[in-house]
Amino acid sequence: MQLDLSSEQEAFRAEVRAFLDEQLTPEMRRGASLTSGVFAEPEVAGPWQDALEARGWLTYFWPREHGGTGWGGVQRWIFETECARAGAPVLPGMGLKLVGPVIYTFGTDAQREHFLPALRRGEHFWAQGFSEPGSGSDLASLQTRAVRDGDDYLVTGQKIWTTQAQFANWLFALVRTDQEVKAQRGISFLLIDMTSPGVTVRPILSASGDHDLNEVFLDNVRVPTANRVGDEGQGWSIAKFLLENERGGTGYAPLLLADLERIERAAALSGSLADRAVRLRLEAEALEMTELRTRLEIEAGEPPAPRSLATKLIASEIRQGIEELALDAFGLAGLQLLPARPFHHHADDLVGPPEAGLAAARYLNARAWSIFGGTSEIQLNIIARAALGS
């Protein structure tokens, strides 16, 4: 998609490109190109996060009063587009895009002062403790309990599908603090130190062989009441705010388009494969326009239009289509599943370009796009209710 940018916006794009040329090192680009999961691992993402924080651009989507840049919707789109085209690592979003906005919106002054700077410096690595066995898309049925004990809660339960919990030292979690009221009203939002006694993390290996997901067991974990965000029983409202950021607060299109372009270059598509790529590009460009229109509406003080609810659903379908295309395009070279993370220097060499060597892993991992952040079926229900005004 081509926009008619103002001279100031063109100058900003040139500034972003110059920053990327200078600060996005070959090692960072290599690590990003060899990442098969959704987010880069700390050894890949950490140096890039440090570079962005040093430039003041790490939390570009936060409001200025909480350390953000104050950029408008077009600037944010330019920045995300240029980072995607340059092959920058995708930073884990659990801290920066999910719990960070929760803390500066609902947290106390003490919580903001303690948690937000540590998050930005990379001292706190966050995981999300929402889903439980039997309580995924139906979060209101969660069973993890937090029982008041003086100035603490004793938290007991199990969380599952917890992305990158093996690296995390903090967990934000929904817990049940009241068993007697309606399910949604008995839920609270806690910040849990994962180094506390009683926290156990067990890996879940994906079909790709990747270790991105985990189970987290909480056995009478002592959590200070000062680590509760909001009031008791406010957790459901806070979770809805957070999930809106997860499902619709991210610009998906820039990375989708950049990944599609890389596959087209690496595979030299022709015939029906080229036709599929054209259709995917048109769908991603339409999504890009929708995301940008929504950002500009919100920036103008308007509520997001109902079409914004469909962005995560559509992005999931496009992502899966791109990875299916790659698998078909690279043939036998696209069937590699490596036993070690390929960005580790001791890993076996890939056959062909990174796009081929990671095609199978990325295809398998992409199946989860229509599950995480709310299943596609749940998204369709939300869209239907919005369309019907119910």
What are the catalytic residues?
246
Q: Could you tell me if residue 36 is left (phi over 0), alpha (psi between -120 and 50 degrees) or otherwise beta?
A: alpha
Kindly compute the dihedral angle of the four CA atoms of residues 337, 340, 343, 347, in this order, to the nearest 10 degrees: -100
Dig out the tokens for 218 from the structure.
Answer: 């909480």
What does residue 76 show for φ and ψ, rounded to 5 degrees? -60, -40
What does residue 189 show for φ and ψ, rounded to 5 degrees? -115, 115
N-term to C-term CA, the chain: 35
Distance of alpha carbon 107 from alpha carbon 129, whole angstroms: 18
Dig out the tokens for 367 from the structure.
Answer: 């199946």
Residue whose pair of structure tokens reads 């039997």 in the numeric block:
134
Distance of alpha carbon 277 from alpha carbon 325, whole angstroms: 7
Helix (H) or strand (E) holding 262: helix 253-267
| CA distance readout (Å), 147 to 178, 218, 223, 226, 280 | 9, 13, 10, 14, 50
3-state secondary structure at position 156: strand
The dihedral through the CA atoms of 258, 260, 261, 263 has a sign that is positive
